[in-house]
Amino acid sequence: MSSQYPGLLVIVPLLSALLISVAGWVNKRLCFPIAVVGLSVALYASIGLLLRVLAADPALDGGVVLYRLGGWDPPWGIAYYVDRLNALVLVVVSVSALLNLIATKNDVQESFSTKIGAFYTLYILLVTGLLGITVTGDAFNLYVLLEITALTGYGLIAMGESRAPLASLNYVYMGTIGACFYLLGIGYLYIITGSLNMVDIASILPGLYDSKVVLAAFVICMVGIWLKMGFFPLHAWLPNAYTYAPSAVSSLIAPLMTKVMIYVMIRLMLTVFTPEFTFSVLALKTSVVWLAVIAIVMGSILALGAPDVKKMLTYIIVAEVGYMVGGAWLGNRAGMTGSILHIANDALMTLCVFLAVGNVVYRMKGYGFDDLRGIFVKMPFTMIGFVAGAFSIIGVPPTCGFFSKWYLISGGIEAGHYGFVAALVFSSLISAVLFFKLIEVGYYGSGDAHHHHGTAPVSMAEAPISMVVPLLIVAGGLIAVGLYTGDIVTHIIDPVIAQTIMD
C-alpha cells in the first residue's frame, strides 16, 4: 500500500472531485464530507511519503521515492519523483488545503448554497493540480497540471464579489501567457535533449551547457514561472485576483499557488539545470537578486498604500515572492535554505492571516480598515490568530517567519549582497508599521466612532468555533514550526542542497 502513495496522492483527490460533482446533483450535503475524505487521504499519503523519504538511506537510492505511472519506466513513461524537497512541499500543501477546507465550511455553505457541488469540485481539482505539480518528475506533465490548477483557480476567483470576473479574466491572460512561456522553454529543452523527464534531462544537459538553446530554454522557463508566481514586474494580475476572490478561495490560493511556483523554480534550478549551470555558467545571479530587491521594496511600498486589509496582504505576498526568489538566486547554502524554509513558513503564515481575515469578513461583511474598529473585543480569538500570523510576517523570534528571514539575511551577507539584506530589513520594518497600524485600529479604535456619547460595551461576536479552531491550529503551527526549525533544516533541507553541491 505504501508503495502506492505517490499515485494515491493525485488519483484520490481527482476521483473525489468527480464524485463531488455527481453529489452536487444528487445530495448537496455529501459534497463536503467527500472533499474532506479526499484531502485526508492525500494528507495521509503525503505524510507517509515524507516519513519514507526521511527513512530512506541517501547512499542507497539517493533518498528518492520513484513511482512509475502505469508501470512504464522513465524516461519513456511519466515518473513521479519524491525527494525531501517535494515531500516537504506536499505536506505543506495538503495540510493547508485540508485546514482551509474545514475552516471555511460555514462561509462556503452560506455564500454558495446553490453552487456547493461546483465549488468543492473546483476546490479539490485545484489541490489535485498543486499536488501533481509538486510530485511529478516529468516536465510536460507539470505543464498540464499547471494549467489544471490555473483553470480551476480562474473559476474559483470569479465566484467572488462584483469585480472578481474582471480580475479573473486579467489573470487568465497573464496566467496563460506564463504557462505558454513555460511550455515553449520545455519545447527548446526537448529539441536539444530529446527528453521530457527531469532527471533524464539533467543527466544529458552537462555536455550542452554552452548551447544557446539551453540558455534560451532556461530563460524562457524562468520568465513563464515568474509570471505565474507574480514576481514583481510581472505581478500586475495578482493583487486584484486575490483580493476580489471569495475569502474561502483567497485563503486557499494565496498561500499555496505562489509557493508551489517557487518550488517549481527551485526544482528547475537545482534538479533540471543543476546549480552549476544556474549559478556558474549563467551570469544572471546578481541581476536576478537585484530584481528580487526591487520586488521586495515595491511590494512593501504598495502594501503601505493599499486601500484595504486584503489588498495590503496581497502586496505583502508580492514582497514575499521577492524574498524567496532572491534567496534562491543568492547562490549559496544559507540563501537556498532560507528560500526553501520560507516556502513552508510563508504558506503557513499567509494561510493564517487570510483565514483570520476570512473570519472577519464572515462577521463584519467587509475587509476595509474601518471594519476592523474594535475588532479585538468583538472577535478576540480570531485576532489572536491574526496577530500570530502578523508577528510571523514581521519576523518576531518565536514564530517561524523569523528563522527563514534569518537564513535569508545571513545568505545575503555571505554572498556580499547588502542590497538584498537592506531590502529584507526595510520590508520587515514596513510590515511592522502595517500590522501595528491594524492592531492599533483593532484595539483602540472603539466600536462606533460616530457615537461620542455612547459608552455601550461592544458585544463579542466571534466567528463559529469551526472557523476559529483551524485558525488557532495554524497559529500554533507557526510557533511549533519556528521551534522545530533546526530539525527541519538538518533533516529535510540540508540533504536536498547537499545532493546538488554549492558553496
Binding residues (CB under 8 A) for another protein: these are: 140, 143-144, 147, 151, 154-155, 158, 162-163, 165-166, 168-169, 172-173, 176-177, 179-180, 183-184, 187, 190-191
> Is the CB of 149 or the CB of 427 nearer to another protein?
149
Q: How far apart are CA 178 and CA 238, in angstroms?
A: 13
Write down the least CB distance from residue 156 to another protein, Å: 11
CA separation, residue 102 to residues 40, 53, 108, 469 (Å): 11, 28, 10, 10
> Is the CB of 120 or the CB of 154 nearer to another protein?
154
Write down the least CB distance from residue 256 to another protein, Å: 20
CA separation, residue 48 to residues 64, 82, 347 (Å): 14, 11, 21
Residues 6+ apart with CB under 8 A from 104: 247, 248, 251, 355, 358, 467
* DSSP character at residue 29: G
For residue 65, list its beta bridge partners. 82
Write down the least CB distance from residue 223 to another protein, Å: 12
**Residue 358 contacts residue 250 (beta carbons within 8 Å):** yes
Write down the least CB distance from residue 187 to another protein, Å: 6
Write down the least CB distance from residue 192 to another protein, Å: 11
Write down the least CB distance from residue 273 to another protein, Å: 20
- For the purposes of burial, counting CB atoms within 10 Å of the CB of 366, is it exposed (0-12), middle (13-18) or buried (19 or more)? middle
- Residue 209: CB atoms within 10 A of its CB come to 15
> Is the CB of 230 or the CB of 482 nearer to another protein?
230
* DSSP character at residue 160: S
> Is the CB of 188 or the CB of 407 nearer to another protein?
188
Write down the least CB distance from residue 147 to another protein, Å: 5
Write down the least CB distance from residue 175 to another protein, Å: 9
> Is the CB of 117 or the CB of 155 nearer to another protein?
155
Write down the least CB distance from residue 409 to another protein, Å: 37
Residues 6+ apart with CB under 8 A from 87: 46, 49, 50, 53, 54, 492
> Is the CB of 191 or the CB of 498 nearer to another protein?
191
Q: How far apart are CA 62 and CA 495, in angstroms?
A: 10
> Is the CB of 46 or the CB of 141 nearer to another protein?
141
* DSSP character at residue 113: T
Q: How far apart are CA 323 and CA 329, in angstroms?
A: 10
> Is the CB of 226 or the CB of 435 nearer to another protein?
226
- For the purposes of burial, counting CB atoms within 10 Å of the CB of 388, is it exposed (0-12), middle (13-18) or buried (19 or more)? buried
Write down the least CB distance from residue 77 to another protein, Å: 13
Q: How far apart are CA 98 and CA 79, in angstroms?
A: 26
Q: How far apart are CA 107 and CA 130, in angstroms?
A: 23
> Is the CB of 34 or the CB of 139 nearer to another protein?
139
Cα radius of gyration rounded to whole Å, the chain: 22
Maximum alpha-carbon separation in the chain: 79
Q: How far apart are CA 333 and CA 497, in angstroms?
A: 7
DSSP notation for 267-324: HIIIIITTHIIIIII-S-HHHHHHHHHHHHHHHHHHHHT-SBHHHHHHHHHHHHHHHH
Write down the least CB distance from residue 244 to another protein, Å: 11
> Is the CB of 183 or the CB of 319 nearer to another protein?
183
> Is the CB of 72 or the CB of 484 nearer to another protein?
72
